[in-house]
Structure 1
Amino acid sequence: MKKNLISFTLASVLALTAAPYSFATNDTTIQPSNDYSQLVTKRQVVDQLLNDAVIAFKSPARISHAGFTAKMPSNMEIVTNRLLEAYKLEPYRTDLLISAANAQIYNKNVDRAISLFQQALSVAPDDIDLHAYLAIWQHFKGSQAASDKHMTALAKLNPGRAADIQRIFATVDRIVATPLKEHADKDKLDDKGAIVTLGYALNPDGSMHPILIERLETTLVMAKANPDAIIILTGGVPMNHKTEGKLMADWLIEKGISKDRIIEENYATSTVDNALYSSYALARHNIKHAIIISSASHVRRGQTLFEIASWQTGPHNITFDTVSYPDKPLKELAIANDAELLGIYRDALRTYGMWSYRSYPLESR
């Protein structure tokens, strides 16, 4: 009896998916709006396109060598194209447009990103994330009237979000206007002070790059001058089964720094992670002032992200200073160029909590 019931049910499903159907109830005819067999096929295609996007996104190569074309599209271009192909099939999936736009931000094509954000906004005109993105990137492009328009809309829709975006603008403006320096404003940290050293990609054999060693030399000087300060070493990209955080800790311990002062943060794979994970360590120890050590070309982005991360984790009123290892002459970096500013704004939004990629399985802060 059970076997016959299963057979009947399966046969019924196959009959329904094979062709359109209708039921007459009184004078009303109920008909499906789609062919269900085609719906299943479309879902499979969308899933495959998103899986292809994930593969391109995670590929360690910066360009694709697949195929026989003279043009080698970047990974982010492939990601964008797959997302837009999926959007053509499912045009209610505004998330696909947002993810594609952010892929273009990574591709440094801000104009195309703005166009995609605007396309998404035409579908969802009250989306607060879209107004926030457009306020930021129009400001970055120097289109202040357009940025102000989105800020006005944002203030009506969500005053708290509008205030946060204004705070991001003010934070970035202040930090990029602060001169880079190779020494802290004060050699001695007050009570409840911390030194935070940002990692740098290891060599393929798992050894430390000279730039990372230079950052550690700077850290060592600061650590000796401030024997009560805790030291957070953040970096977790594994190479040959080693991580930056662990190698940095070993190096400092060999130089005489007590391991009891050191917090290894071995999970961060980006500057955003550096800030988010380290902010909890700063909160746990109720740190009032922290000095961030990184390369001169990177330290302004680091400070921006640490400040934004601390808005949510605390401690309340924590302050940050920076010390730069001059990977380039400081005079050359005195004014933040467009590439640096793009990275600062992009990662500021990620740290704030606006995920760049929000289309499963392509989900990434």
Structure 2
Amino acid sequence: MKKKLLAIALGGVICLASAPYTFAANDSAVQSSDNYAQLITKRQVVDQLLSDAVDAFKSPSRISHAGFTAKMPSNMEIVTDRLLEAYQLEPYRTDLLISAANAQIYNKNVEQAIELFEQALSVAPDDVDLHAYLAVWQRFEGNQAESNKHMATLSKLNAGKAADIKRIFTTVDRVVATPLKEKADNGKLDDKGAIVTLGYALNPDGSMHQILVERLETTLQMAKDNPDALIVLTGGVPKNHKTEGKLMADWLIEKGIKKERIIEENYATSTVGNALFSSYALARHNIQHATIISSASHVRRGQTLFEIASWQTGPQDITFDTVSYPDKPLKELTKASASELLGIYRDALRTYGMWSYRSYPLESR
């Protein structure tokens, strides 16, 4: 693959030259301006590169796969490319490397991401976030010795953060080892219990996708079986001026569920947002146990994120379990796939508070 770098002659002439990085862009991805010749200073070029990265990141050119419902941008290679070109001009900006590495995580290029994290670590060997990222992604790749090495360094640099990362590992291991189920446990939810239903992207006309309707069918039955339980409906991506949370609430009310039982969470645009926003609703009502309802291929990620979000909000002893709408036969989902596990780890770190993109104006948790 040809590799190129944007460079500046200090006299104000800007040209393209060879460099160690370039990533092929998807044909359907948004294209950058590539017109930097009229810019004068290095700062202007870096600002333009980052602006192009933001445009690519926010492009509607995104795809979503049933069974792994995180939005996976098809144009993340352009995001990575622009960040690395900017880094060549400002090599002290390790934030650009970290952002580029996380863009590669979104594109499932974990080995490339590790290389970029390690390059950043060579500049900032005591950076606690870099050791945390490398501990997680080396573990994901099965390189336990490397993961342990970074955990040992992290423990010396920041024992509290090391303990949190270990807790994330323990949580993920427990959740993915728990068998999925289509029905709630026999125990009833009381007035300190809650049902939390995760949204699913609406159709372009603002109607509910069949997957979301099926999640609501599961919610309705559980709500009838547990008449004292609070119901949290979370999802805020607008389509045709409507949100998942509002449409879910209207659907349940039409089916006879009392409005007073329902909390609409109409702001979350991702599973991370579902967990963070809903955790405050659970804390406000002192919920002791919550059952999360989502598609079978999604509930493990949901439970992991809700548990991590509750570490900060409480209640301190809240517990979670899940009920799955079987978008796939449960026997096919006995073991979490590599793609599902990647999404769990990635979003676990985001929920914990480690920002994926930290290069203004490309900043995103």
Please indicate the TM-score interval, normalised by the length of the shorter structure: 0.7 to 0.9
- Is contact 2:57–2:75 with CA below 8 Å preserved after alignment? yes
Name the CA distance, whole Å, in 1 between partners of 2:75 and 2:211: 27
Aligned to 1:146: 146
Report the secondary structure of 2:62's partner residue. coil
Name the CA distance, whole Å, in 2 between partners of 1:169 and 1:82: 32
Range moving further from structure 2, 223-232 or 142-151: 223-232
How many residue pairs match? The answer is: 322
Name the CA distance, whole Å, in 1 between partners of 2:320 and 2:114: 32
TM-score by structure 1 length?
A: 0.86
1:203 aligns with 2:203: yes
1:349 aligns with 2:349: yes
* 1:184 CA drift (Å): 1.4
Aligned to 1:290: 290
Task: Describe the superposition over 1:6-29 as per-residue Cα deviations: whole angstroms up to 9, x where unpaired.
Answer: xxxxxxxxxxx999xxxxxxxxxx
Aligned to 1:220: 220
Aligned to 2:232: 232
Name the CA distance, whole Å, in 2 between partners of 1:186 and 1:96: 50
Aligned to 2:108: 108
* 1:228 CA drift (Å): 1.1
Aligned to 1:66: none
Report the secondary structure of 1:201's partner residue. coil
Name the CA distance, whole Å, in 2 between partners of 1:235 and 1:258: 20
Range moving further from structure 2, 188-197 or 155-164: 188-197
Name the CA distance, whole Å, in 2 between partners of 1:207 and 1:74: 25
- CA RMSD between the two structures: 1.7
Aligned to 2:339: 339
Aligned to 2:246: 246
Report the secondary structure of 2:91's partner residue. coil
* 1:139 CA drift (Å): 0.2
1:257 aligns with 2:257: yes
> Which amino acid in 1 is paired with 2:290?
A
- Is contact 1:57–1:75 with CA below 8 Å preserved after alignment? yes
Name the CA distance, whole Å, in 1 between partners of 2:229 and 2:11: 71
Report the secondary structure of 1:331's partner residue. helix
Aligned to 1:323: 323
Aligned to 2:163: 163
Name the CA distance, whole Å, in 2 between partners of 1:110 and 1:233: 33
Task: Describe the superposition over 1:70-112 as per-residue Cα deviations: whole angstroms up to 9, x where unpaired.
Answer: xxx9411000000000000000000000000000000000000
Task: Describe the superposition over 1:305-357 as per-residue Cα deviations: whole angstroms up to 9, x where unpaired.
Answer: 00000000000010001000000000000000100000000000000000000
Name the CA distance, whole Å, in 1 between partners of 2:62 and 2:279: 31
1:174 aligns with 2:174: yes
> Which amino acid in 2 is paired with 1:183?
K
> Which amino acid in 2 is paired with 1:262?
I
- Is contact 2:292–2:302 with CA below 8 Å preserved after alignment? yes
Task: Describe the superposition over 1:98-151 as per-residue Cα deviations: whole angstroms up to 9, x where unpaired.
Answer: 000000000000000000000000000000000000000000000000000000
Name the CA distance, whole Å, in 2 between partners of 1:227 and 1:297: 27
**Structure with larger Rg:** 1
Aligned to 1:362: 362
Report the secondary structure of 2:233's partner residue. strand
Name the CA distance, whole Å, in 2 between partners of 1:18 and 1:183: 70
Aligned to 2:49: 49
Name the CA distance, whole Å, in 1 between partners of 2:145 and 2:334: 28
> Which amino acid in 2 is paired with 1:86?
A
Report the secondary structure of 2:92's partner residue. coil
Name the CA distance, whole Å, in 1 between partners of 2:173 and 2:349: 15
Name the CA distance, whole Å, in 2 between partners of 1:186 and 1:359: 49
Range moving further from structure 2, 322-331 or 53-62: 53-62
> Which amino acid in 1 is paired with 2:285?
H
Task: Describe the superposition over 1:211-253 as per-residue Cα deviations: whole angstroms up to 9, x where unpaired.
Answer: 1000000000111111111100000000111100000000000
Gaps of 5+ in 2: 1-9, 13-38, 64-72
Name the CA distance, whole Å, in 2 between partners of 1:302 and 1:205: 26
Name the CA distance, whole Å, in 1 between partners of 2:145 and 2:191: 46
Name the CA distance, whole Å, in 2 between partners of 1:53 and 1:322: 37
1:132 aligns with 2:167: no
Name the CA distance, whole Å, in 2 between partners of 1:224 and 1:74: 41
- Is contact 2:190–2:228 with CA below 8 Å preserved after alignment? no
Name the CA distance, whole Å, in 2 between partners of 1:212 and 1:145: 42
TM-score by structure 2 length?
A: 0.86
- Is contact 1:185–1:321 with CA below 8 Å preserved after alignment? no
Runs of 4+ in 1 over 3 A off after TM superposition: none
Aligned to 1:94: 94
* 1:187 CA drift (Å): 4.7
